[in-house]
Each structure stands twice: as C-alpha cells, then as structure tokens.
Structure 1
Amino acid sequence: MRLHSHSWGEGDRVALLIHGIMADHRTWRKVGPALADRGYRVVAVDLRGHGLSGRAGSYTAQDHADDLVETLPRGAEFALGHSLGGLTLSLAVERLAPRRAVYSDPAWYLGGGGEGDGFDPAHFAELKSIATRDVVEMLNPRWEREDVDAELEALALWDESSAHGLSGSAGPDLLPGAPVVPSLVQLADLSFLVPPERARVLASRGFELRTVKGAGHALHRDDFDGFMASLEGWI
C-alpha cells in the first residue's frame, strides 16, 4: 500500500520519519522543521490505518514494513522510527538501505500484556474510546498543547483494529540480531519496551544506545531538546 506522506524542507539530504501506534505524521510537528533547518528534505508517512493513509484488512508488522518500502525512497541519509515505527523500520531497513537508522524507544517486545510487560497493542485499541483531552493531558503531562491537539486529531482518524492485527503478527521478542546499517537506539528513561536486560543485548549486538533522561515513551514530545541532543552525531 502506498502511504500518505508529509514533507518539510528541500535539502539535498533525505530524512525519513515513521510514527508510532495511534499517531500520524503530525507527531513530528517540531522534529520535521528542525531537520529541515539542518538541510534535510524530511518525509514522514502515515502508516496504514493511521492519518490519511488507507485502511486495510491486515495490519501485521510485515504489512507496515512492506508499505514503507513501497512508499519511501531508498538510500536516505537516515531513517528514524518511533515505537511501532521503530519495529516497522527494523523490518524494512535492509530494503530501504538508509545510511543510518535511529530506533526511538522501539516496540521490539510484544509482551503478554501484564503490567510493565512490554507492548500490548490491544491495550491501545481500548484507549481510543476513553482518550479525552483530559486523559491525554493526564497521561502526558509534559506535552505542549499542540501535541495534545495532534494526538486527539490522530486518534479520531486511527483505525483501532490495526492494534489487534499487531497482537498476533509476530513472536514476542523481535530484537534485531545485528544492525543492518549503523544504528542508534534512543531510550526513554526507565523504558518499558527496552528494559536494561534487553538494552545490554542490543549493545552486545552492535547498537549504540542513548537514554533521554527524564523522558517517557514519546521522547520527542516529552523533551524535544533532549531528544534532538541525543541525535547529535547521527543527523
């Protein structure tokens, strides 16, 4: 499926941005322009079932990865995926062949759904019906008002059945065996997706790891300055 995309800038270097579950390209409202100011042409997609991209009968992680390959240019300067976008990028990175890859608190562990146990996609489907402005602000106290607005707009468009598709799409442990290209993993402080034991495995496999201190899962929204600082040397 060819995905809807949004771009910023007209630079010679290309940067690719892939959002997480429930969001769309608007999650990058500050990141996209910041990269454009650094001379990039930035392309951000809406994954299938999200934003202005089409709906589908299947929402496996591999479906999302195939869509990236169909939509995005090969050989970008770097590609960055957050959460589900990080998982999706890791499944497409060999075919997309960016020069560098950044995985921002990636969903490489689909846990059993217990408290603190990885990433339970079905849980997110339940959030759509209860995610009022007050709820979004309560769950994300560090977000700017514009981020809350963008999240509510994205939720209204999101096909929540995409979460159930992910629940049964792959095994629970999706850590890459090795980086296909030079790769950075950005971690939330006390990440529930990449806890210390998995972080150590990633480091042993050749990934560079950097933690954004004090930031939650949505690093770029919780602490934009810290998020951008953690990308130095990679962008």
Structure 2
Amino acid sequence: MKLHTREWGTGDRVAVLVHGIMSDHRTWRRVAPALADQGYRVVAVDLRGHGASGRGEYGAEVWADDLVETLPKGPELAIGHSLGAMALSLAVDRLAPARAVYCDPAWELRADADLVARTFIDAKHAPRSAIAGFNPCWEQADVDIELATLAAWDPATAQALPDIYAVSRTPARAKVPSLVLRADPSTLVPPDMAGELTRRGFEVRTVPGVGHTLYRNDFEGFMAALDGWT
C-alpha cells in the first residue's frame, strides 16, 4: 500500500521517519524541521491504519512492505520509533539506508500482548486531561497532536499485536550501521537486552530521564543523543 507522507526541506540528503502505534507523521513536528535545517529532505509516513493512510490487513510484515513501497530507497538516514522501529527493522535491508536509528524499539513485549492491545484501544478516547497528566513534560502542541492522531487512528491495528509478538522481532544483527536510543528506564529495551543488542552490532545509547516518546519528552536531549548519526 502506498502510504500518505509529509515532507520537509529540499536538501540533497534524504531522511525518512516512521512513527509508532496510535500516532502519525505529526509526532515528528520538531524532529523533522530540525533535520531539514541540517540539509535533509525529510519524508515521514503515516503507517497503514494511522493518519491519512489507508486501512486494511495489519501486521509486522505488512507495515514493513508498505514502507518499502512508499519510501525512497537508499536514504541517508532512517529513524523509527517503537512499533515503527520494528517495521523499519523488517524493511531495512530493502530500504538500504546509510544509517538507521531505532528509538525505544518495540521488538519484544515482555508484558501480555493482549493486555497491551486492550490498553491501547481504551486510550483511543482518552481525554485531554489524561494525556496531559500522563505526559507532564509535553508541550501543549504535542497534547493537541496526540488527540488528533488518536482520532485518526484505527484501533484494529492494536488487535494485531498478539500475533505480531508471538515471536521475537529483535534483529539477529545490525544490517546497516544502527543506533538504538532507549528511554530511561525502558521497558522495551531493558539493560539485558541493551547488552545483547551491543553484541549483535548495534550502538546503544540512553537518553537520560525520559519516557518512551523520547523526542517529545526531551527534544534537546534526543537531538544530542543523535550526535554523529545525522
């Protein structure tokens, strides 16, 4: 499926951005312009079931195939967050970016996938007060975007999670130069997994004191953690 995309900048280098579940391209409202200022043409997708992209069958391989069909091959930089990082890792050998950055990647769920799916579905109609209260360091614009992206999101995507995580999605090796940025603490990339990823050829960095949406919780800290990768 060809996905809806949003672009920033007109640079010679290309950077591609892939959001996580319940979100869409608007989540990159600060990251994308910052990369454009560095000379990138930035292309951000709405995954299937999110934003303005189509609906249909959902699954890890489906999301990865959509990225390959939509995004330019051989970008200088590819960044994925959470479930988007998982989809990116399944597409990375075909997209062939020069560098890949996986932000708190959802390669494994150590919690019950059915429970996680129900929690996400329940969040579909979360009020502004709940979103702001759960994310006290977010700017008001991020709360507004979260409400808008939840409204546009198809909760059936969450129903695919138990099947997706019936097997581990952690890559056996880094297929391109790859950086993992983990939250502090991270339930998705705990210390033992971080060590294993290092052994598999990934560079692993921690953004201190931030939650799962690293670039919203501490934009400056997130960009600093990308030093040498952009």
- TM-score band, normalised by shorter chain: over 0.9
- Which of 179, 204, 227 is equivalent to 1:209? 204
Aligned to 2:78: 79
Aligned to 1:63: 62
How far 1:40 sits from its partner (Å)? 0.1
Aligned to 2:37: 37
Q: Which amino acid aligns with 2:201?
A: G
Contact 2:82/2:104 (<8 A) preserved: yes
Q: Which amino acid aligns with 2:221?
A: G
Aligned to 2:222: 227
Contact 1:110/1:171 (<8 A) preserved: no
Aligned to 2:108: 109
**Aligned pairs for 1:1-235 within 5 A:** 1-56=1-56, 58-113=57-112, 120-129=116-125, 131-235=126-230
Q: Distance in 2 between matches of 1:71 and 1:122?
A: 30
Q: Distance in 1 between matches of 2:213 and 2:229?
A: 19
How far 1:151 sits from its partner (Å)? 0.5
Structure whose residues are more often helix by fraction? 2
RMSD value over aligned CA atoms?
1.2
How far 1:189 sits from its partner (Å)? 0.4
How far 1:172 sits from its partner (Å)? 4.1
Contact 1:80/1:101 (<8 A) preserved: yes
How far 1:112 sits from its partner (Å)? 3.9
For residues 169-225 of structure 1, the C-alpha deviation after alignment (integer angstroms, 9 at most, x for no partner) is 243422110000000000000100011111111011110011000110000000000
For residues 28-61 of structure 1, the C-alpha deviation after alignment (integer angstroms, 9 at most, x for no partner) is 00000000000000000000000000111x1101
How far 1:96 sits from its partner (Å)? 0.3
Contact 1:9/1:39 (<8 A) preserved: yes
TM-score by length of 2: 0.97
How far 1:168 sits from its partner (Å)? 1.2
Q: Distance in 2 between matches of 1:194 and 1:124?
A: 19
**Residue segments in structure 1 that go unaligned for 5+ positions in a row:** none
Q: Which amino acid aligns with 1:38?
A: Q
Contact 1:18/1:25 (<8 A) preserved: yes
Q: Distance in 1 between matches of 2:68 and 2:60?
A: 13
Aligned length: 229
Comparing 12-21 with 171-180, greater Cα deviation is found at: 171-180
Q: Distance in 1 between matches of 2:4 and 2:181?
A: 26
Q: Which amino acid aligns with 2:94?
A: R
